[in-house]
Amino acid sequence: MENVAIELRGISKRFGRIQANKNVNLTLYHGEILSLLGENGSGKTTLMNMISGIYFPDEGHIFINGEEVVIKSPKDAFDNGIGMIHQHFKLVDVFTATENILLGLEEKGRFDVKAATKKVEELCNKYGFILDPNKKIYEMSVSEKQTVEIIKVLYRGANILILDEPTAVLTPQEARKLFDIMRKMKEDGKAIIIITHKLHEVLSVSDRVTVLRKGETIGSVPTSEATVESLTEMMVGKKVALNIDRIDPVDPKERLVVEGLNCINREGVKVLSDISFKALSGEILGIAGIAGSGQRELLEAIAGLQHINQGAITYIDPASGANKSLTDMTPMQIRALGVRLSFVPEDRLGMGLVGNMDLVDNMMLRSYSKGHSLFLQKKEPSDLAKHIVEELEVVTPNIQTPVRRLSGGNVQKVLVGREISSSPTVLMVAYPVRGLDINSSYLIYRLLNEQKKLGAAIIFVGEDLDVLVELCDRIMVLGGGHITGVVDARTTTKEEIGYLMTKSNGGEH
Amino acid sequence: MEHTIKSKKEPLIHITKRDAMPLWKAILIRVIAVVIALAVSALLVMVLTKKNPGQVFTAMFNGSFQTPRKILNMLQDVAMLLCISLAVTPAFKMKFWNIGAEGQVLMGALASATLMYKLGNTGIPNGVLIPLMFIGSILMGMIWAIIPAIFKAVWNTNETLFTLMMNYVAMQIIQICIATWATSGSGVMGVINSMNEAGWLPQIFGTKYLLNIIFVALLTVFVFIYLKFSKHGYEIAVVGESENTARYIGINVKKVILRTMALSGALCGFAGFLLVSGASHTITKELAGGMGFTAIMVSWLAKFNPAIMVGTSFLLVFLDKGASSIAMECRLSESIGEIITGIIIFFIIGCEFFIRYKINFRSSNKEVAK
């Protein structure tokens, strides 16, 4: 066909014993938005990395505008008009938007920043971006940074754009704006591939969907003929029930009381202002907010990892009913008080687990200091590791495998499994399903619900508002370190939460 | 169409990461690396010196194994290098780059030498003096290591620069002591207490150095168990891998840094004690002879495993002795020995690349696209 922007034929890629891609075929037309869908480890990112010159395929052919090309480096990809917007931004903080866009371009003599700024502004007007080209990156919100990344590839004349999970860091409103821009680019004849886990986004923005499973192409369907159920079935290979149960809290009692919390971080920035709330037993309290609104600091303050400048945190013991102050305690002191506080942090391999250690050693993190022996007890953690691998169906060669070798979903199962193994009375989870596929995500929701039934007070920091609304009992919204609202999850709407998310930090950011 | 895309070929080679490799294969690659290294060295020797490479390699081997005396000297050197390597390993496992072992060893040695010099003629029995020296050395080594550790733990200073500079301070202090003590301003400290052998470690079974070697062997077992099976060792590993994780589970990171550096310094001080009391019976600022730095290589080559460090410290001592032996026996310049050492180390470190990565060549007969 005339209109083909890029075609992949029989692409294969192995990493050691793992076959990341096997005989993948994919076609993308000009003026089209294609969703690339698949569970974790199905080879989406590997495939895209081969198009953008980061990996080189073991087998197969790539055709651009009908001609075979060889892409050996990101520069080759640029020369062929391919631009990838990665999940993690690669920008220099102290440079302006324009300077970042110019970075890495080969121009003779000095950069003409003025002309470049003008060109950036033209691009903004053409596609409807809102961006000040002279703003420094560190002053920007996440969505602005993403805009810079997109303009960067457009500036280089990219005709084929690949966006890797672009909405993971955006509010619903911002995501909608991004989709409008994508549609404008499509009308301009650009070919766009979007990788996402959120099926409703797939349905609303793309023209066609290509599904990968275990490194192989399962098929491509026009979006108009697809439903959430049919896509899930293609991805997983079987039918999956896609509803989250929400039981009513049984006998909710105050478990954790936070009053007037104020925190200032190491850079001297006030990250939490006057936070007061109560977490109840047998209830899931959701926390919504744009990334960086103080969610992390709040959880870390409760867990004893963030210094508290003002305010109090009180724990009410379910057995004795006694009040215990957790204000400014270390994690060791909290444990010594007999408070079973579990915490699944956002940074799984950098905080919750040690990537280079095996499953047994990672189980030991929580329990190694027990007892008076000078030596380590390996029996219990080893039993726990075996139990978690069996119970949560963790895919791993054995329990002596370093956790960094596991896929994202399995890493999370190991971490959540360890944290709930101590039958916590307070369970805090931060973005527990980020980057997880459908099966693993639903497993995590199920585990949280089980803990809820057992009477734990659960604090759930999430980003997918659909999930927050379906899973939680109450939702507290943070904006710029303030509480901007607390809503009943059973009656609220995504729009209401989205409005609260942007409420207080419109002017400050 | 006028516009044509430059026809590009698939690159000739591309490199991919390997999965874990079976042990026998990894060992085989290392053996092959040594064989190739020897072959390359032999070729070079023939071309440069017109000597028979067999003769040169024999000389190299003789450096360590010619006479029982040489074997003993070699074992003593291996023991000392191993001792210092064991000392730096806990700190390295914690990713605390202690390159101040040289200075910590010297300060330990100085403590021993001072006690020997000051108390040697007071008639104090060896049964009291030697334990005193032992304690003094360990304390001095510990102090020298814990100063940079405090600065790191409290103000997050760069430990690499700090420990490095502490080496030079230690050398200068020794220089001052020697200048004050040495007779007639010769600037050289003779053998201390050569008359009454006060503060000298006794020879057992009439063999010099044997006690040193036994001590270090015991120390190897201790460090191995400490790092692998003790709670302290586990904390060191967690802090080294991720300070955030350590904080998250409630490990007191500052305490672990201070404790581990105190241990590292104490073991360095112990090495200084063995050097003075068990071997040289004197003090110079070259006493550690750069072993504080070589130990870093020993520790890294063994990936911080004390058992493997026995092998790597032997290898480095063997190569070093071989190099001077080649120079002596074949009447060649010392450089040829060093060139051979360099070639062997290059191949041994270089072969790790082939253990971790695979090289794929462009297949000559590509299958046609379907």
Classify residue A267 by its DSSP letter: T
Least confident of A227-241, A256-270, A468-482, B65-79: A227-241
Higher-pLDDT residue of A240 and B288 is: B288
* Residues 6 or more apart in contact with residue A374 via CB below 8 angstroms: B230, B231, B232
| Domains of chain B by residue range | 16-51+332-362, 72-330
From the list B5, B8, B17, the residue facing A16 with the nearest CB is B17
Which residues in chain A (314-373) have CB-CB distances under 8 A to chain B?
330-332, 334-335, 343, 345, 347, 350-357, 361, 364-366, 368-369, 373
| Domains of chain A by residue range | 4-236, 251-340+427-437+457-509, 343-422
Cα separation, B72 vs B77, whole angstroms: 9
Are domains A4-236 and A251-340+427-437+457-509 of this chain identical in fold? yes
Asked if the Cβ–Cβ distance from A351 to B244 is below 8 Å, we say yes
**What is residue B185's predicted lDDT score, i.e. its pLDDT?**
63
Among A392, A444, A451, CA closest to A424: A451
**What is residue B10's predicted lDDT score, i.e. its pLDDT?**
61
CA of B131 vs chain A CAs: smallest distance (Å): 26
* Segment A161-180 mean pLDDT: 84
Tokens of A72: 């050996």
**What is residue B6's predicted lDDT score, i.e. its pLDDT?**
45
* Segment A364-369 mean pLDDT: 84
Residue A474 has pLDDT above 90, yes or no: yes
Cα separation, A103 vs A92, whole angstroms: 9
* Segment A178-194 mean pLDDT: 90
| A104 reaches B (C-beta below 8 A) | no
**What is residue B9's predicted lDDT score, i.e. its pLDDT?**
58
**Given pLDDT bands bounded at 50, 70 and 90, which one contains residue B368?**
very low
**What is residue B4's predicted lDDT score, i.e. its pLDDT?**
41
* ipTM here: 0.75
Inter-axis angle of helices A113-127 and A172-187, nearest 10: 100
**What is residue A507's predicted lDDT score, i.e. its pLDDT?**
39
Chain B hits for A23, CB-CB cut-off 8 Å, are none
Cα separation, A434 vs A40, whole angstroms: 11
Cα separation, B114 vs B119, whole angstroms: 8
* Residues 6 or more apart in contact with residue B1 via CB below 8 angstroms: none
Torsion angles phi and psi, residue A22, rounded to 5: -135, 110
**What is residue A508's predicted lDDT score, i.e. its pLDDT?**
40
Among positive and negative, which fits the CA dihedral A42, A48, A53, A54? negative
- HSE, side-chain direction, 13 A CA sphere, residue B189: 24
* Residues 6 or more apart in contact with residue A238 via CB below 8 angstroms: none
Residue B20 has pLDDT above 70, yes or no: no
CA dist A170 to A86, A130, A139, A261, A488, Å? Answer: 14, 15, 17, 27, 22
Asked if the Cβ–Cβ distance from A67 to B238 is below 8 Å, we say no
**Given pLDDT bands bounded at 50, 70 and 90, which one contains residue B184?**
low
Chain A hits for B239, CB-CB cut-off 8 Å, are none
Q: What is the dihedral of CA A165, A168, A171, A173, to 10 degrees?
A: 20
**What is residue B96's predicted lDDT score, i.e. its pLDDT?**
87
Residue A347 has pLDDT above 70, yes or no: yes
* Segment B247-276 mean pLDDT: 91
CATH number of A251-340+427-437+457-509: 3.40.50.300
**What is residue B3's predicted lDDT score, i.e. its pLDDT?**
41
Asked if the Cβ–Cβ distance from B248 to A330 is below 8 Å, we say no
| Per-residue pLDDT tens over the stretch A349-359 | 888 899 888 88
Asked if the Cβ–Cβ distance from A345 to B360 is below 8 Å, we say no
**What is residue B272's predicted lDDT score, i.e. its pLDDT?**
93
**Given pLDDT bands bounded at 50, 70 and 90, which one contains residue A2?**
low
Please give the class, per CATH, of domain A4-236: alpha beta
- HSE, side-chain direction, 13 A CA sphere, residue A393: 4
Least confident of A178-192, B59-73, B217-231: B59-73
Mean pLDDT score of chain A: 86
- Residue A258's DSSP bridge partners are A277, A313
| Per-residue pLDDT tens over the stretch B323-353 | 888 777 777 777 777 788 888 888 888 888 8
Please name the amino acid found at residue A110.
R
Please give the class, per CATH, of domain B72-330: mainly alpha
From the list B242, B250, B367, the residue facing A332 with the nearest CB is B250
CA of A316 vs chain B CAs: smallest distance (Å): 22
